[in-house]
Amino acid sequence: MHHKPRDYAQTPLNIYWEVTQACALACTHCRAEAMPMPHPMELNFEEGKRLLSQIQEFGEPMPQLILTGGDPLARGDLYQLIEEARRLGIGVSITPAATPALTKQVLEKLLAYGVEGLGLSLDGSTAEKHDSIRGIAGTFDRTVAAMGWARDLKMPLQVNTLVTSQTAADAPAIYELLKPFDVARWSLFFLISVGRGKTLLPLAPAEAEQFMGWIHEISRGADFIVATTEAPSYRRVALEKMRAEGMTGEQIKRSGVGRGFGIRDGHGIMFVSNTGDICPAGFLPLVAGNVRRDSVAGVYRNAPLFQALHDPDQLEGRCGVCEYRALCGGSRARAFGATGNPLATDPLCEYEPQQPN
């Protein structure tokens, strides 16, 4: 099937719906500041169905819906919501928490209901390292078990790994651990200090640049896609390295590094909270509307905040004059976290733009 290319100013690639804040874990970096119980104002089943029918308004190509939390498995009507999304032709992926509720039977049931992908978090190469971040013993073993079940069930798996000054040195060992599992994508998430994440330390810009060089190195031999989250400057690093090696534009294109080009918080991505707030991304908690009274497509296309984020020429600071602004655009969430302005310079990136003569 040949799809027309997606215009990220019109339609996002991914919509993240935080179906509940409820979760049995208490991770040190939780964006959702998840709680044991659902929020009293959580969208109910009828409101959830209305949100799904709103997503349909984007038309073809439809966004992918990623059910997140909290722990989506903590939601009683999860399977009915998945059934409704599939009935409307919306592709669904899920990122469950590694609690005792996550079993092989659950993965089989999710597959039977048409879930197309699974996301799991792995932040350490050993139980000691991973569980210290997760706050609960046993999460490492559960996660590795779930990776094995996903492999056995041939369920496409994305593994998300947190990159902080505490975890970066462990990344090569995590990479080795992932190799025997048929991982589709390994996403390295560069910490943004929001929610509980303020207790962990992000990498300094120079360390981040070095680490991105390492990501590029391993990505060339990896059997799976290696990507970054909240570090779009990786695209610049990869391009610079490929150019330095003398690769042609055509070779660079074929390498697949361009897959995420142009996607940034609010542009290619949007987030709906458990209470229906519409934000550019989970880590950019600026509310542009609420699904109880607004349409997600209308907000994504027309809200002033989203319109500014769709236009790289509205970026400010170094990001605004950078020749890579259209394909990178910086982490808008990190800029907002550091300055309160979502259009400011991404402080993770030290690159000095080439000023036109």
- DSSP characters over 103-142: -HHHHHHHHHTT--EEEEE---SSHHHHHHHHSSTTHHHH
- Residue whose pair of structure tokens reads 């799976």 in the numeric block: 224
pTM reported for the whole predicted model: 0.95
Bridge partners (DSSP) of residue 279 are 271
**Domains of the chain and CATH, by start:** 10-115+262-310 (3.20.20.70), 118-230 (3.20.20.70)
Please tell me the total number of residues recorded for the chain in this structure.
357
- Reading the chain (357 residues) residue by residue, the pLDDT tens digits are 445 568 999 999 999 999 999 998 877 777 777 788 899 999 999 999 999 999 999 999 999 999 999 999 999 999 999 999 999 999 999 999 999 999 999 999 999 999 999 999 999 999 999 998 888 899 999 999 999 999 999 999 999 999 999 899 999 999 999 999 999 999 999 998 765 556 788 999 999 999 999 999 999 999 999 999 999 999 999 999 999 999 988 888 777 777 788 899 999 999 999 999 999 999 999 999 999 999 999 999 999 999 999 999 999 999 999 999 999 999 999 999 999 999 999 999 999 998 765
For residues 134 and 18, give the distance between their C-alpha atoms in angstroms, rounded to a whole number. 19
Q: Which amino acid is at 226?
A: V
- 14-18 vs 64-68, strand pairing mode: parallel
306: left (phi over 0), alpha (psi -120 to 50) or beta: alpha
Could you tell me the end-to-end alpha-carbon distance of the chain, in angstroms, rounded to an integer? 45
